[in-house]
Amino acid sequence: MNNALYMDNCYLKEFEATVESVKDDKYVVLNQTAFYPLGGGVACDAGVLLRDDEEFPVVYVGKFDDKISHEVSKPGLKQRDKIIGIINWERRYKLMKLHTAAHLLVSIFHNKGNALITGNKIEPDCARMDFSLENFDRAIIDEYAKNANELIQKNASVKIHYMKREEALKIPDTVKLANKMPPDVEILRIVEIEGIDRQADGGRHVNSLKEIGKIEIIRVENKGKSNRRVYYDVKS
């Protein structure tokens, strides 16, 4: 997936590409792309593909047969067309903040509450995570959020690097997640909040914790011991 430009640069807002194929006049595969496809419980990017002055809005991005497919709401793109892709930055940046905030919360819930994440869904206007948590108490969850905001204030770099699978498996905190990776993945992409958390992950993140702003717990729902649901948002 080295044609997925967001993997190494989450801040790339515009890129040039060539159309590789178009299916049903609306599913467009490019030779390279900065558009993130829906995955890992995190919403996809939106934006436009520009051919000269003509705009083809991207309404959905998915990954099929290991190729990133852009669904456009206007027909007419053809194979070998040269395009400029433009990411809807407001949406993307919000998703980056929410995703890094999720990693921070997961590490605090894990370290302080021995909780494991059992599910998540991150969309620009609604983000939630499910935890298996013994004691379900709003005050405790607010306390964890306070810890998270203190760490954001102190700030830390968020770094993306690659590691051989066997090397990553030796580090205790990435083992659990690394094991979930398909066995044929030799090189893992590691997202590290320096000094705080390290996870194998293919998503988009901010460069530093400060960019998150402030995490707010919106509400919590009890869906059983293994599904304590926490809704949160980030505010600048």
**List of residues contacting Zn ion (CB under 5 A):** 201, 203
Q: How far is the CB of 172 from Zn ion (least distance, A)?
A: 18
Q: How far is the CB of 222 from Zn ion (least distance, A)?
A: 24
Q: How far is the CB of 40 from Zn ion (least distance, A)?
A: 6
Q: Which of 96, 20, 118 is nearest to 65 (CA)?
A: 20
Our CB check for Zn ion shows the closer of 85 and 203 to be: 203
Our CB check for Zn ion shows the closer of 205 and 228 to be: 205
Q: Which of 86, 144, 149, 139 is nearest to 115 (CA)?
A: 144
Our CB check for Zn ion shows the closer of 201 and 211 to be: 201
Residue closest to Zn ion, measured at CB: 201
Our CB check for Zn ion shows the closer of 41 and 85 to be: 41
Length of the chain as a residue count: 236
How many angstroms separate the CA atoms of 136 and 184, rounded? 38
Q: How far is the CB of 179 from Zn ion (least distance, A)?
A: 16
Q: Which residues lie closer than 8 Å to 198 by C-beta, 6 or more apart?
A: 171, 173, 174, 190, 191, 192
